[in-house]
Amino acid sequence: MSDYLLKIGSKIRSFPSIKYSRYQIKDIDKLILSHLNLSDMGKLRDRFEGQSFYDKKSRIILAYLGVCKHLNITPLDINKINLSHFVPYVTYNSIRFKIIISDFGEFPIIEKQAPEPFIFVIARSNLEYSIVGYCDEKELKNSKNFKPFSTDKVIYNAIDNLISI
């Protein structure tokens, strides 16, 4: 965590920030509930895997929508998203970027084989996100930017090299 704070802690306020209200995410709640065939959030919370699924998918969708809004890109209609297979991508400066989301204090984790350019978003809370910047092909080729995480994933620890958007 101290390495993270040294690289990004002092800059966090300068990153573009997106805040949502509970009212703004009602459509996402409905989408996730219908995907799980549930009628209300209380029933979702009764299911352990339901709450975990909700937390993960709502973060992905909110980060995606926030990046689209910041870059003035028209997002996909969230009601037409297949939640089981949705991976957030945007095209910026004619380059396709995957959106990577992590909690404050965590470095982005990416695929070890064939890593893709990405935009890194920090989830400061369930309703507040900060867009740190993007990583291009050039940075992905520098092996010093990575630390092993698992057999098929690596940690991108050069977040201070991300390019602001």
pLDDT attached to residue 8: 80
Going by DSSP bridges, is the β-strand pair 95-103/17-19 parallel, antiparallel, or unpaired? unpaired
Instruction: Delimit the domains of the chain by residue range.
Output: 2-161
Cα–Cα distance measured from residue 54 to residue 33, given in angstroms and rounded to the nearest whole number: 8
Q: What percent of the chain stands above pLDDT 90? A: 50
* The pLDDT of residue 66: 95
Cα 19 to its chain centre, rounded Å, is 14
In this predicted structure, what is the pLDDT of residue 79?
Answer: 87
pTM: 0.90
- The torsion angles phi and psi of 54, rounded to 5 degrees, stand at -60, -50
Average the pLDDT over 50-76 and give the result: 92
pLDDT exceeds 70 at position 48? no
Residue 1 has pLDDT above 70, yes or no: no
Q: Which of 29-33, 88-92, 114-118 has the lowest mean pLDDT?
A: 29-33
Task: Give the pair of three-digit tokens for residue 77.
Answer: 């209609």
pLDDT of residue 75: 94
Other CB atoms within a 10 A radius of the CB of residue 79 amount to: 10
Question: Between 89 and 13, whose confidence is greater?
Answer: 89
Number of Cα atoms under 13 Å in the Cβ half of residue 98:
13
